[in-house]
Copies of this chain bind each other. A is one copy, B any other.
């Protein structure tokens, strides 16, 4: 199984602390040796860094730890290959442009019968179940919403459709998802996904996977709201919330703005 890491924040924030713990799972404390990637949204722009080598030994991953890129939405993934070879084209996150926005996607899990999901606008470059499912999902959203949703009602309709599509993919196996469009971060839980929101008063956090402690009070202002999502909690002294299978959370500026599925309303 792969591992997911996400962040939603109300101010441009660097994810160096969480990413340091996360990448130790990429061939260090974890078995996820088959590549890694991380995507950043910055001022309406998007960039990702991907490497088909273990993150714990990757010079690009070290750069990301040492060079704080400040972002409001981050999606990262470390891979343990099941479907598809270990190569760059199969390395998450995947990205496609829709409505003039870069949509970024990372998947943890494995699907069956995914080959028959029909494709339209978007086609996979590699040969994973994950990328095929992404192309199908985004194509279905675009088919029903040819234009960017113009108001809250259309946006809620889009999110309901996204939840239904995620539930359909959950019916094909394990489908834990992080998806983003630059404004919103979407998290869908099939089996494992946890989150934590940090806000004032900020305290200390200890990584579970590496010997590192950070005092967020030294790096934040009182109005900052920063939420982190991960397959498994990354720190051992904070209360992470585990998502419920079938639950879709929509995040903006570090806060949950919508919830679909079996979780508490």
Contacts and interface: CB of A to CB of B under 8 A. Distances in A.
A89 B125 contact: no
In the complex this chain forms, how many copies of it are found?
Answer: 2
Interface residues of A, number: 32
A44 interface: yes
Interface string A69-97: 00000000000000000011111000011
Interface string A126-142: 10000000000000000
Contacts of A124: 100
A23 to B, nearest CB: 16
- Give the most central of A46, A49, A52, A89: most B CB within 10 Å: A89
A32 to B, nearest CB: 18
Contact of A44 (B47, B101, B121, B125): B125
B88 A43 contact: yes
Interface string A93-120: 0001101111000000000000000000
A44 B48 CA distance: 17
A125 B124 CA distance: 21
A52 to B, nearest CB: 7
A145 interface: no
A122 interface: yes
Nearest to A50: B47
Interface of A: 42-50, 52, 59-60, 63, 66-67, 87-91, 96-97, 99-102, 121-126
